[in-house]
Structure 1
Amino acid sequence: MNKDTLILGALIFGSSGLGAVGKKPVTFTEHIAPIIFNNCTTCHREGEGGPFAFTTYAEVAKRARLIARVTESRYMPPWHAHSADYKFKDERRLTEKQIDLIAQWVKTGASEGDPKKLPALPKFTLGWQLGKPDLVVKMDEAYTVPAEGRDIYRSFVVPLNLPENKWLKAMEFRPGAPSVVHHSLFRYDTTGRARRLDERSETPGFTGMGRQDGRGATSLGGWAVGGTARFLPEGLAYRLPKDSDLVMDMHFHLSGKAEKEVSTVGLYFTDKAPENTFTDIQMPPSFGALSRVDIPAGKKDYTVNDTFTLPIDVEAFGVSAHAHYLGKELKMTATLPEGKTRELIWIKDWDFSWQDQYHYEDFISLPKGTRIDTKVVWDNSAENPNNPSNPPRRVRWGLQSTDEMGSLSLMVKPKRAQEIGSLNTAMRQHARDHSVARALQPEGGLGARIMDAAMRSDRNGDGKISRAEVPRWLNRRFESIDGDGDGQLSKEELQRALSRLGNR
């Protein structure tokens, strides 16, 4: 064989697309199995949520092309949270090198390789992912979810029969019919109101999602599709009083097939009293209910922004996000008092099917005066493949999956536990201010109607509102609106105030 033949052969085989790591071909046993077993098999195995198993070469090779497509697009493994400044625990993200290896393996025939080099499957936790619970409770009667109709919001009561107060570190939720359970919010009730509402109903549970029995009920977190059970950080716990009833506020998204739901919950206690308390800073408040979300048909980038300044020093340990099918992008940043901006979370490609609480690897110190900014973007265009309406229709805030919501929640503990009251007070005031600010947006003419309502207080008809004439709802802002300090509010001053508030 002459030199030219060798060169030609090298060119042919070197450019033929044969996958290789260095000079070795890419094989399942040596290169692909470690990626799949450690990143995919957690869910893709018997008894877990994946629709098919990835525990053997045959199972993986059967869907090799599909695996290459969904990993290249980063649809799988499902992980949507990004942060340029902080790392999340248990990130389910493949590296570019891992994605390229899978692509090379598929392009070159998805060969098995030497069976002797196949790594053992990881030792997965069977059953309860957090270990054996201290207490397991379940619904005592199945609730029938119909095949068709509107989304259902229903609350279910499960007596805990606790003989004494407990400190709760975690809850692990197991839906009986995962195909129809979209999310469940947990709370406890010590008043008996929830139990009485349940007893009055002819079918298990009651309607209202907490609106009818809200007094005396306290949040214990929640679960949503794609969520992962986690323990609270060291030093934190929920207080669970004795004789509490567990209330599960559940959202059912009908699947076209009737299902029977019997939810099971595992509770994990600790004997150690918490060292601190914690809360969520939700922005916009109330899942966006106060933002007057009203998305025109065809609008690609309907956006709601929110801003909140911390009144105390806090440490953040987690963050979550929520929207429905039209959700496109959700982002939260923190601008520190010295002016540096940090990215707390950025979800660039929202997916209604995958919602989780993202816990940071370390506590994030956010001093008093830090400004938290959020942005929620919805896409109501025909180009949005997740849009449930074809053609697109006007969408407002609401409880149905085909309505919209949108918010981000930052989980924080105060640096000094005694200051939690100041934070809660500031958040309540922020909710009121945000509601007013959104009301003043030009969409729908709400600002004009508020202006008309204010000017109706002008009893003497001089075109201005004096301190004696100002309505109660405007009284607190009188001085800030009275720009020239003459003790009267003119139309121009009111318009400037509306503009400032509406564009916050």
Structure 2
Amino acid sequence: MLRLNRITLGFALLSLAPGCADVPSAADGDSTGTDTGGDGDGDGDGDGLAQETTWHQHIAPLMMEKCGQCHRQDGIGPFSMVDYEAAASWAPLALEAVESGQMPPWGADETEECVPRHGFKDDPRLTDDQLALFNDWILDGTPEGDPATAAPIPELASIELADADLRLTIPGDIEVGPGPDKFLCFVLDPGFTETTFIDATQVVAGNDKVVHHVLVYVDESGQAEQLAGDDGRYECFGGPGLGQPTLISAWAPGVPPSRMPEQVAMNVAAGAKIVVNVHYHPTGADEVDSGTSLDIRFAKGAPQYFGELALIGNFGALGGGMGLQPGPNDSGSNPEFRIPAGADDHTETMIFALPNQVPPIKIFSTGTHMHYVGTDMLIGLDRLEPEEGTGIKQECLVQTPHYSFEWQRGYAFDAPLDEVPTAKAGDYLYMRCSYNNSMSNPYVAAALADQGLDAPIDVYLGEETLDEMCLGVFGIAYSIFP
């Protein structure tokens, strides 16, 4: 589903070869733990002698920067990594999780077949130097060091939108007791009496122990109000269950405010409602979420570009070779979205063409969305003609080989708007989704148990818990001026 200028559009993309990896990658980022003294031993003192890696002198600042948003007292992480005793105890398991890609929760990665031309903003992953430093600390026996000469500890970066103009708050208290996860949609009225431009949003969790992630939509159709009860909410999974909503914000713990690029803003029509889709993850105790809110910042002045988050995918066969492609387990002559029970390495691919009425689009962010069966998703772009200024015809936009339904987010390119990938009418998008529908997938086992099942079943395209999706999420901008 994609809304642009009130027109429902489909994208498409010719199948990409692994040559996506030929696109140059971005710089490695910061170099915490590198030697600044010129002697090559990493201690920065110039004496040529390696020094012991300690908590107070080396590791505490790293843990606060990379892990502190979640792994702190009362955070959503199951243990703390910002105080010495806890961090020393959990260090070997934490290192294993980082090396395997499970932590920090960041699904995107560079692979042999996908190296995006730019890196991504707010990347929490440890650099090679930082990972080596953490490993050295464990090999040294996790020494504490001298607190009197501790390195400065960075403050946790603010994850709230300090200059917001409007706050919309979910009404009432939401009880989240032991049991399966909850997915609720709340319908909020921003009270807009005229078209309003928004250039930044931020979800503020009332109880971040249980608010796992949030998706925020604009509904101009009135459907959400019809679905909601007297309490202004309804159950929803995999999306708000609306025809053509516009996605304006996505949040997970530690995610910073969502800001449009400079001169880009989203427009919300008069009378539209805001739908806040919250995934609640129980702790095993009786919890209450109160005050979960959406902060909104209005654009200052008229933007040069309209911006929105476009949902593209979940298509069947569209004819002409577009849409869902033939798959390895199709039972008939027509493409079928079906993941057989027990299949542990199944793929579905979709190809969508950018229609002629679509204006040139700048893609400033992208993300992937599947359900519990999904394990890996790749999104690529293939142009009819090489991109002006770069000569790039094919490129991979993102791959999430560490995909987890529990940790979803968008990935914004770390580049100015005039340098991000562009697409025009006639260009193609390609989405390849991989699935593991066997009991070796712990998410499948848990989802089946929640449904009272003890063996996998065939999975089809749909909204329910045991259905699947293959959906791309794109931050796009297009000129206000024809």
Aligned to 2:302: 273
Aligned to 1:472: none
Q: Distance in 2 between matches of 1:287 and 1:272?
A: 41
Give the 5 Å matches for 1:392-431.
392-414=456-478, 416-417=479-480
Pair 1:328-2:357 in alignment? no
Residues 192, 43 of structure 1: CA spacing in aligned structure 2 closer, same or farther, 3 A cutoff?
same
Q: Distance in 2 between matches of 1:77 and 1:307?
A: 31
Residues 343, 196 of structure 1: CA spacing in aligned structure 2 closer, same or farther, 3 A cutoff?
closer
Measured after TM superposition, the shift of residue 112 of structure 1 is: 1.8
Q: Distance in 2 between matches of 1:301 and 1:342?
A: 24
State, as a whole percentage, how many aligned pairs show the same letter: 26
Aligned to 2:429: 372
Measured after TM superposition, the shift of residue 165 of structure 1 is: 4.8
Aligned to 1:354: 407
Measured after TM superposition, the shift of residue 54 of structure 1 is: 3.1
Bigger Cα displacement from structure 2, 51-60 vs 97-106: 51-60
Residues 222, 72 of structure 1: CA spacing in aligned structure 2 closer, same or farther, 3 A cutoff?
closer
Question: Secondary structure at the residue paired with 1:237?
Answer: strand
Please point out which of 440, 444, 461 is paired with 1:387. 444
Question: Secondary structure at the residue paired with 2:97?
Answer: helix
Contact 2:378 2:400 in 1 (8 A): yes
Aligned to 1:67: 94
Pair 1:247-2:275 in alignment? yes
Contact 2:247 2:311 in 1 (8 A): no
Letter in 1 for 2:168: V
Letter in 2 for 1:123: E
> Gaps spanning 5+ residues in structure 2: where?
1-40, 44-48, 325-335, 387-391, 449-453
Give the 5 Å matches for 1:15-164.
23-46=50-73, 48-83=75-110, 84=115, 85-125=117-157, 129-145=160-176, 147-148=178-179, 153-162=183-192
Residues 372, 238 of structure 1: CA spacing in aligned structure 2 closer, same or farther, 3 A cutoff?
same
- Relative to the length of structure 1, the TM-score reads 0.68
Residues 97, 266 of structure 1: CA spacing in aligned structure 2 closer, same or farther, 3 A cutoff?
same
Letter in 2 for 1:306: M
Question: Secondary structure at the residue paired with 1:299?
Answer: coil
Q: Write the deviation string for residues 285-326 of structure 1: whole angstroms up to 9, x where unpaired.
A: 469998553211111222111223445532210001111221
Q: Distance in 1 between matches of 2:100 and 2:63?
A: 16
> Gaps spanning 5+ residues in structure 1: where?
1-18, 420-504
Give the paired residue count: 394
Letter in 2 for 1:104: D
Measured after TM superposition, the shift of residue 70 of structure 1 is: 1.9
Q: Distance in 2 between matches of 1:222 and 1:37?
A: 24
Letter in 2 for 1:95: T
Measured after TM superposition, the shift of residue 243 of structure 1 is: 5.3
Question: Secondary structure at the residue paired with 1:234?
Answer: coil
Give the 5 Å matches for 1:219-298.
219-224=247-252, 227-241=255-269, 244-252=272-280, 259-262=287-290, 263-280=292-309, 282-285=311-314, 293-298=337-342
Q: Distance in 1 between matches of 2:210 and 2:430?
A: 34
Residues 203, 147 of structure 1: CA spacing in aligned structure 2 closer, same or farther, 3 A cutoff?
farther
Q: Distance in 2 between matches of 1:148 and 1:288?
A: 38
Letter in 2 for 1:68: L
Q: Write the deviation string for residues 48-88 of structure 1: whole angstroms up to 9, x where unpaired.
A: 43333333333422322222222222322222212412211
Contact 2:304 2:481 in 1 (8 A): no
Contact 1:318 1:357 in 2 (8 A): yes
Structure number with higher helix proportion:
1
Q: Write the deviation string for residues 114-154 of structure 1: whole angstroms up to 9, x where unpaired.
A: 3343222212345x5222532222122234456446x6554
Question: Secondary structure at the residue paired with 2:118?
Answer: coil
